[in-house]
Copies of this chain bind each other. A is one copy, B any other.
Amino acid sequence: MTEFGFIDHIRTLFAALPDNGFEGIGDDCAVLPLQGGESLLFTADLLTEGVHFLRHATTARELGCKSLAVNLSDVAAMGGRPVATLLSIALPADAAGAWAEEFMEGYRTLSEEYGVALIGGDTTASKGGVTINVTAIGRAADGCIKRRSGARPGDVLLTAGLLGESGAGLQDLLQGRCDTPCAAIHRMPRPQVDEGLWLGTRSEVTAMMDLSDGLASDVRHIMECSGVGADIDLERIPTAPGIDLRTAACAGEDYKLLLCAEASGVDSLMEAFEARFGAPLYPLGRITGTHELRWCEHGTPSPLDWQGFHHY
């Protein structure tokens, strides 16, 4: 069973249980509406040694940052502000001392930067490698929450940054080149927290998520949740300098925001974003009514059938 097959299986298995007021599985975060027009957001990410990271190819401090960053990215992708985390970490004997302390310093640095409290978790021994789970809690005004399900045919598809650096960095690491700029970006991605919060306030934005498994995979989640299709213009994919197009479209862990915006408002959205952040939004395609993902070359659908990145 694939990762997504297993998640679908779980979703079906639990569908008949009471939801207790939560919007559950299916978006970057679960949503719990509170009284007073505000909701809480919940997300969890598990990182395991040898699958998500190689201990010899990252510092403990970088990994502490990354463990938190990937969760902050999920909160930001809903338009929320991260407020607290629970951190669980399983430590083999050779990581229980100085390594663990350095990990916590990295985790604290990013927690402090975004004003996020550490409210609980668990620490245990491990007979295998290091395993880390972070559960992040966010808050959002109800009107600012952006879901995967809000895209409509005619919307413009955009990313909030260049793609492919993290994927190229992973290739560097796997080939033993740990000191390249892309390898550094792969080890320590920056979550787009401020960008997500700001985009949450913009009514032109109809759907949003973060790019963790690659554009080719993640855009399908928006398509499925919104019941739409997408045409992506190959020549407009914002490929980072020196990165090949396929890596930009298919590799994972960019943690840039992927969003849809009403066509009539996209110019003013892009202008305001660039004025606020000094960096552009990149339009790279359109939402369609076809239920298909098409990779277009200068307006003509190509035979490409690119897929995203799967851990298993």
* Interface, chain A (partner B; CB < 8 A): 1, 3, 6-7, 9-10, 13-14, 17-25, 29-30, 32, 34-36, 40, 42-52, 83-84, 86-90, 96-97, 100-101, 104-105, 108, 111-112, 115-129, 131, 133, 135, 137, 311-312
Task: Given A48-B131, A133-B133, verify A42-B119 contact (CB < 8 Å).
Answer: yes
Q: A20-B83, A25-B118 are in contact. Are A52 and B124 (CB under 8 A)?
A: yes
- In the complex, the chain B residue whose C-beta lies closest to that of A3 is B123
Q: How far is the CB of A264 from chain B (nearest CB, A)?
A: 34
CB of A303 to closest CB in B, whole Å: 31
Q: How many monomers of this protein are in the complex? A: 2
Q: Mostly helix, strand, loop or mixed at chain A's interface?
A: mixed
Decide yes or no: A115 and B18 within 8 Å by CB, A86-B30, A96-B1, A108-B13 being known contacts: yes
Are A30 and B119 closer than 8 Å at their CB atoms? yes
Residue of B nearest to A18 (CB): B115
Asked if B10 contacts A104 (CB within 8 A), the reply is: yes
Task: Collect the chain B residues with CB atoms within 8 Å of residue A121's CB.
Answer: 44, 46
Contact of A129 among B19, B108, B128 (CB under 8 A): B128
A-B contact pairs, 5 of them (CB 8 A): A24-B118, A48-B125, A49-B127, A49-B128, A86-B135
Cβ contact of A120, chosen from B30, B118, B127, cutoff 8 A:
B30
Task: Report the Cα distance A126→B131, complex, angstroms.
Answer: 9
A119-B50 in contact (CB<8A): no
The answer to whether B108 touches A14 (Cβ under 8 A) is: yes
* Inter-chain contact B124/A48, CB cutoff 8 Å: yes
B125 and A311 within 8 A (CB): yes
A122 to B45, CA, bound (A): 6
Decide: A117 and B312 in contact? CB cutoff 8 A. Answer: no
How many angstroms from the CA of A49 to the CA of B92 in the assembled complex?
Answer: 12
Interface residue from B35, B52, B120 paired with A34 (Cβ < 8 Å) = B35
With A124-B52, A131-B90 given, is the CB distance from A14 to B311 under 8 Å?
no
In the assembled complex, which residues on chain B have CB atoms less than 8 Å from the CB atom of A29? 120
A131 neighbours in B (Cβ, 8 Å): 46, 48, 90, 126, 128, 131
Q: 7 tightest A-B contacts by CB? A: A128-B128, A50-B127, A133-B133, A30-B119, A125-B312, A24-B119, A46-B88
Chain B residues whose CB sits within 8 angstroms of the CB of A32 once the complex forms: 84
CA distance A14 to B68 in the complex (A): 14
A22 B127 Cβ-Cβ under 8 A: no
Q: How far is the CB of A296 from chain B (nearest CB, A)?
A: 33
Query: Of B7, B89, B137, which contacts A46 at CB under 8 A?
Result: B89
B125 touches A127 (CB 8 A): no
Chain B contacts for A47, CB-based, 8 A: 124
CA distance A242 to B277 in the complex (A): 69
Alpha-carbon gap, A70 to B36, bound state (A): 33
Q: How far does the Cβ of A301 sit from chain B's closest Cβ, in whole Å?
A: 33
How distant is the Cα of A126 from the Cα of B53 in the complex, in angstroms? 11
Q: Determine the distance from Cα of A10 to Cα of B123 in the docked complex, in whole angstroms.
A: 11
